[in-house]
A = this chain, B = another copy of it.
Amino acid sequence: MSEGNKKQRTTVSIYGQQYTIVGKESSSHVVRVAEYVDHKMREIKNSNPYLDTTKLAVLTSINLVDEHLKLLEKLKEYENEENEKDR
Are B69 and A67 in contact (CB-based, < 8 A)?
A: no
Q: Contacts A17-B55, A48-B2, A53-B54 known; A65 to B78 CB distance under 8 Å? A: no
**Copies of chain A in the complex:** 2
One digit per residue, 1 when the CB lies within 8 angstroms of any chain B CB and 0 when it does not, for chain A 4-48 equals 100000000011010101000100010011101100110010011
What are the residues of chain B within 8 A of A74 when measuring CB–CB? Answer: 75
Which residue of B4, B21, B58, B69 contacts A19 across the interface (Cβ within 8 Å)? B58
Residues on A lying within 8 angstroms of B by beta carbon are 1-4, 14-15, 17, 19, 21, 25, 29, 32-34, 36-37, 40-41, 44, 47-48, 51, 53-55, 57-69, 71-72, 74-75, 78-79, 82
